[in-house]
Structure 1
């Protein structure tokens, strides 16, 4: 079969078919006495496959991998789908950033621009938050418990970012990488760090279930676990007097500018309602259950600017 016949049967320009031949996608079977390219019978099916993949904007390099047998067509589809989804995530993240900068006063736009510049690549921002929590937690915290706290405290970049969630993520990143960042409770503050953090994580797991089910008994059980975690720090019992002391402490912790208040407020903006609990992820993200527990202790209604510290 000659190149002219292939062009006529596929509708492709001769120049395009010649290009595919030159880069090895469509091997020639030889040349005619006049020097014209000749192709075997399977060239037409190969060329139609190339043509259809190019119609989907499949890169030449990916098509070449299929033609050489390096990758199957199914593998190519999976790979290209993953690539498209990654580009879509990048595009929606950038859209959220631009929307966060749109329609706000000039000084605020400049402030947001400085924040958002730090999260141009959300995966890198996520890694920065993880590094902060590894730095902030006690060095002798058991690895499994430390992992549970970090996974619960660091939200993943939202899959469907909005202006609010992208800006919230940027605020989290700025807090975790700024000069005002602070460590979480250490051994000299809470004594048995494993017992304290395990108690907080267990209480959050129960609070997550309570939020999902609305079960009053679960809310009460979660609150008891939470209060006992703080009571053990100073060797106290869970008494009405201690709860009054803890209530005053938590109310004081909602003062403006508080690092924990700002962190959990922005985390809750990013995560929203608590995700379902699973054995793989433990209690899920900690922001919503911590907010619920704080509200039950302090009596404060937790609006967007009143999210507590553990």
Structure 2
């Protein structure tokens, strides 16, 4: 530490370079962009820095060693953000980058080791889900379009949350492909609307009944309780029975079974949607209640299999 002509304890740029190992050119750059303000100049015109310059410079040096952006460091040095804020923000950024890289790895794995015609088909599919947030938003927009306009907002929100799976956190080639197929299905010319009021009458009652049945089915999956499984099926069947003013009788169940089987044979849109959704969400264990993104897939797979005797999953 030296003493300048103004009577203040200051340090020169050469001493800062010697004590930190940083080049003078780098310290001068930090000074020019405002990370390390000068406290004045010597009579010879050399930069002088306040006593805390060494600790400030070491903080900058350590943050840069972690590839922290200059703008983020500047926010800390000016007091706009705390160091804790910076760590939280940078952790969020790193996790987002990791998610993107993991998804890209899954896409490349799906394109690897397959015949050239299939690789070209997959490439066309996967190119549409390369940007995860955009792909997710498109699925959400499909459901807003597909659901009845008169459905209460809370039910719309609940159905969309349960119907739109998040991309798998640890994607495999099969789950990546399933997500891409799901997206293609909802953005293609053959996409379909969900049951409307002219088909089911009271849409709020119908969708509430389906959601309640799915909640019970999710609980039965988590607990393995046969009674809860039967309760879920009863609730599901009664919801469909009410549409046509029917009772839940063996004859109606036989009719519903035939209806579901015929839909499966025709390769219906709902069958394909939930089949792909099951594949995307297969890594997630059923919860005790129907919650979370895409939670309807496993529940509806169970209910469909109980009604039709056919597994929804491929």
Quick check: 1:161 aligned with 2:191? no
SS at match of 1:38: strand
| 154-163 or 139-148: bigger deviation | 154-163
Structure 1 runs not aligned, ≥5 long: 306-310
Aligned to 1:260: 270
Task: Give matches, 1:75-154, under 5 Å.
Answer: 75-154=85-164
1:141 Cα shift? 1.1
Quick check: 1:28 aligned with 2:32? no
Aligned to 1:181: 191
Distance (whole Å) between structure 1 residues aligned to residue 70 and residue 293 of structure 2? 45
Distance (whole Å) between structure 2 residues aligned to residue 29 and residue 193 of structure 1? 71
1:274 Cα shift? 5.0
Cα-to-partner distance string for 1:63-96 (whole Å, 9 max, x where unaligned): 1111111111110111111111111111111111
Contact 2:215 2:289 (C-alpha < 8 Å) held by counterparts: no
Quick check: 1:276 aligned with 2:287? yes
Contact 1:278 1:284 (C-alpha < 8 Å) held by counterparts: no
TM-score by length of 1: 0.94
Structure 2 runs not aligned, ≥5 long: 1-10
| 282-291 or 229-238: bigger deviation | 282-291
Distance (whole Å) between structure 2 residues aligned to residue 186 and residue 21 of structure 1? 65
1:192 Cα shift? 1.6
Aligned to 1:295: 305
Cα-to-partner distance string for 1:166-211 (whole Å, 9 max, x where unaligned): 2111111111110000111111111121111111110000000000
SS at match of 2:265: coil
1:40 Cα shift? 1.5
Contact 2:223 2:288 (C-alpha < 8 Å) held by counterparts: no
Distance (whole Å) between structure 2 residues aligned to residue 127 and residue 205 of structure 1? 25
| 187-196 or 80-89: bigger deviation | 187-196
Number of residues paired by the alignment?
Answer: 303
Distance (whole Å) between structure 2 residues aligned to residue 144 and residue 111 of structure 1? 38
1:214 Cα shift? 0.2
Quick check: 1:245 aligned with 2:255? yes
Aligned to 1:308: none
